[in-house]
Amino acid sequence: MTTGSLTAGRTRLRLPRRQIPVLATLALLLVMYGVGVSQYQAFSNVQVIFNVFIDNGFLLVVAVGMTFVILTGGIDLSVGSVVAMTAMVSASLLQQGLPAALVLVIALLIGPTLGLLMGCAIHFFDIQPFIVTLAGMFFARGMCTFISGSSIPITDGFWTRMSQERIGDPRGNFVSISVLIAFAVVVVAAYTLAYTRLGRNVHAIGGNPQSALLMGLPVGRTRIAVYTISGLCSAIGGILLSFYTLSGAPLIGVGMELDVIAAVVIGGTVLTGGSGYVFGTVLGVLVLGVIQTLITFDGSLNSWWTKIVIGGLLFAFILLQRLIGIRYK
């Protein structure tokens, strides 16, 4: 074999740098699952993984929306509050006797409307996304308290059926309707980013906004679109959370935006934009869910250990992104 062929072989085996964080997340997830199986016999049950999806379906949907935003180099701090506001509005309207179908439509309009307004403020007034979405976060959280200072239970028949409905297999394993909705959102988002003009624009703007502008790409329109998408995903997440809890509470989802950002970054999306995958975000949410499950199985650790471990992993993955030289600014 010649030296040239050896060099070619090494080149073919070289992984693209932008895929390394995703593969690292996958490896981490497999290691954690292996540790769980080795320590706890019940951890190998398929239902354990299904439960991770059931418990984090709403988080997965919100994280998908955040992936669009971070890919453009932006950030959305309002997502947790929008989730809570959507759940509160749904619970309040259902309590007043409005039809479930009408409540769903109203709830689904809340997030994208706020996202559209924030996107327009960011683009037309050239304000930093951090400031605009921080204002959106305070507004949405304030609206939650304005609607009610306490939790509102949901007794509507449709919501109850959606909460209790299970899709199972012959072995008795099952998932909820919310998981199927979350998977549908993942598929649509992955297709959008990979095969549509919007997806190509999102990656181009995150990679180099000035170059994208010189190429004639609709930078402003794309930025407005991603915040609208993030708002829509937050609204869907709020509805799924209300299915999960059958209630709306003014303080639900506090700090969720940090969990969402952590899941997206741990999933391999670069904070400066331009590189990332929806599949990586799914892995990031799974990592967070498996950490929570491991701590629950242990029984002796405080729930705050979840935050400690997630913080350490987030720091490690940001360092990994820098070490492998991924820069898209």
CA-derived radius of gyration, the chain: 21
Looking at residue 328, what is its pLDDT?
42
Domains defined for the chain, CATH in brackets:
17-323 (1.10.3470)
For residue 66, how many C-alpha atoms fall within 13 Å in the half-sphere facing its CB? Answer: 38
pLDDT tens for 300-327 read: 777 788 889 999 999 998 888 877 764 4
Query: Alpha-carbon distance 208 to 220, whole Å?
Result: 14
What is the per-residue burial (b if ≥16 Cβ within 10 Å, else e) of 222-254?
Answer: bbbbbbbbbbbbbbbbbbbbbbbbbbbbbebbe
Looking at residue 4, what is its pLDDT?
52
Looking at residue 119, what is its pLDDT?
98
182, 61 contact by CB (below 8 A): yes
Mark residue 52 as left, alpha or beta (left: phi above 0; alpha: psi -120 to 50; beta: remaining): alpha
pTM for the model: 0.92
Pairing of strands 166-168, 152-153: unpaired
Q: Which of 255, 271, 241 is nearest to 304 (CA)?
A: 255
Query: Alpha-carbon distance 11 to 26, whole Å?
Result: 23
Looking at residue 31, what is its pLDDT?
95
Q: What is the mean pLDDT of each run of 10 residues along the chain (329 residues)?
A: 50 65 93 94 92 97 98 97 98 97 98 98 96 98 96 97 92 94 98 96 90 90 98 98 97 96 94 91 97 89 85 89 61
Query: Alpha-carbon distance 47 to 55, whole Å?
Result: 12
